[in-house]
Structure 1
């Protein structure tokens, strides 16, 4: 809800970039939730992402409400992934996904009357084309995605999963530019901030691959 609210109050590019803060919140929350030591490298990479968000935050005051909603969205997303990391080692990914989707559906159903009260709409029945898009969004972009994410958490950490999602702004912004021509609304400061976010992802992926090779080398030796 906060993620789509962020897009509505800003635009697609700003909304997905704000979601990149999930890595930062994961580095902060995970040591407390999982009762482990704070990993300095994770915190430094997250601060790099935070610097990118700070640059983007300052580029246009019109989008600050959307950015605030996006930050809340990334915080909740980080907590969701951290929780799933613990559940993935105990339950099957299909089981975790079913309960997550049922909980989300019930929660949205309860909140729907409140939303309609403050934001009345002419009709709540989607058109056939909208219904088709909703089916694709529900099955492929939500259920399948979360199931694969839960399976991935058996092998990699919640921090790596969330930081890898920082690549989402790259292809999303490309699509937003091609479809909605959002490049007319974005400045050089925005792209500089985006560059810092991409750099943090590249550094983390390099760290993960290096550690994997070292583990394989130690196993062989």
Structure 2
């Protein structure tokens, strides 16, 4: 269990850089996600071939894995859209809504009882988001996109919990991201038509940031988080990922001076979200201690 929590928090730390990179990369959200998927899928394929661990799956297995990959692709699309339409701090804080959606989706999909404690903690997170949404009216488009992103992130985690019981995490990651790449590639001409850009090619700096995003903040992060899911519940994983905004916000304050554009409502909302994380951690520790 200690190893699982270590892997989880390391993946959260890496996830904290994704918002920063989303701000640094000048490409729009559609192209950014497409390049991220492309570089990640190619990297994983080469890595697995060299290790001799690449596994071919039957179509009946690829279909559910691929569907989950489309979900994570949509999560990324809305996540980076949220950052582009607001800023890093707003985009990553909306990701905290994932715990609320997980508390709802996990019981519905896996047909278990609703956990009252999970729902109450999620309501605290929701209160934090509402405080930010109500007062930071200039960022409402970004907040709405961020909330949609959190919904897809919750669905991704819940379905992944099922998949890792049948397949190893490396295989799941490769097929998921490859499926997301295929679907986004098909839709990209329509996306570019709807949101025209001057160039579809990344600059040299964008390319550097994209490699960092693919290798460290995608491949390594997802392998660590899915290994953690073998021992830890989807709700706890998503609630721990609420710490992601802490890392991202601190870096955004340092790099982009975003603290100049945020008001007291933002900090009050952030306090509510961090409180929900702390209470859940205490709850998990208490339950594990009682079990022993």
TM-score by length of 1: 0.95
Contact 1:101 1:143 in 2 (8 A): no
In the alignment, structure 1 residue 81 sits paired with structure 2 residue 164: no
Partners of 1:7 and 1:127 lie apart in 2 by 20
What are the superposed Cα offsets for residues 46-88 of structure 1, whole Å, 9 maximum, x if unpaired? 0000000000101221111111111100000000000001111
Instruction: Show the 5 A alignment for 1:104-123.
Output: 104-123=180-199
| Among 76, 87, 96, the residue aligned to 1:20 | 96
Shift of 1:120: 1.6
In the alignment, structure 2 segments of 5+ residues that lack a partner are: 1-76
SS of residue paired to 2:114: coil
In the alignment, structure 1 residue 126 sits paired with structure 2 residue 206: no
Q: Residue in 2 aligned with 1:65?
A: 141
Partners of 1:212 and 1:107 lie apart in 2 by 41
- More displaced 10-residue stretch of structure 1: 25-34 or 206-215: 206-215
Partners of 2:177 and 2:138 lie apart in 1 by 34
Partners of 1:111 and 1:147 lie apart in 2 by 27
In the alignment, structure 1 residue 177 sits paired with structure 2 residue 253: yes
In the alignment, structure 1 residue 52 sits paired with structure 2 residue 52: no
In the alignment, structure 1 residue 205 sits paired with structure 2 residue 281: yes
Shift of 1:107: 2.1
TM-score by length of 2: 0.72
Shift of 1:39: 0.5
Q: Residue in 2 aligned with 1:163?
A: 239
In the alignment, structure 1 segments of 5+ residues that lack a partner are: none
Partners of 1:195 and 1:58 lie apart in 2 by 16
What are the superposed Cα offsets for residues 137-195 of structure 1, whole Å, 9 maximum, x if unpaired? 01111122111111111101110011111111111111111111111110111100000
Q: Residue in 1 aligned with 2:13?
A: none
Q: Residue in 2 aligned with 1:36?
A: 112
Partners of 1:114 and 1:162 lie apart in 2 by 32
Contact 1:22 1:162 in 2 (8 A): yes
Partners of 1:167 and 1:161 lie apart in 2 by 11
Partners of 2:179 and 2:220 lie apart in 1 by 16
Q: Residue in 2 aligned with 1:102?
A: 178
Shift of 1:114: 1.5
Partners of 1:209 and 1:103 lie apart in 2 by 37
- More displaced 10-residue stretch of structure 1: 119-128 or 202-211: 119-128
After TM superposition, what 4+ stretches of structure 1 lie above 3 angstroms from structure 2? none
Partners of 2:288 and 2:137 lie apart in 1 by 43
SS of residue paired to 2:135: coil
CA RMSD of aligned residues (A): 0.9
Partners of 2:199 and 2:145 lie apart in 1 by 26
Partners of 1:148 and 1:107 lie apart in 2 by 25
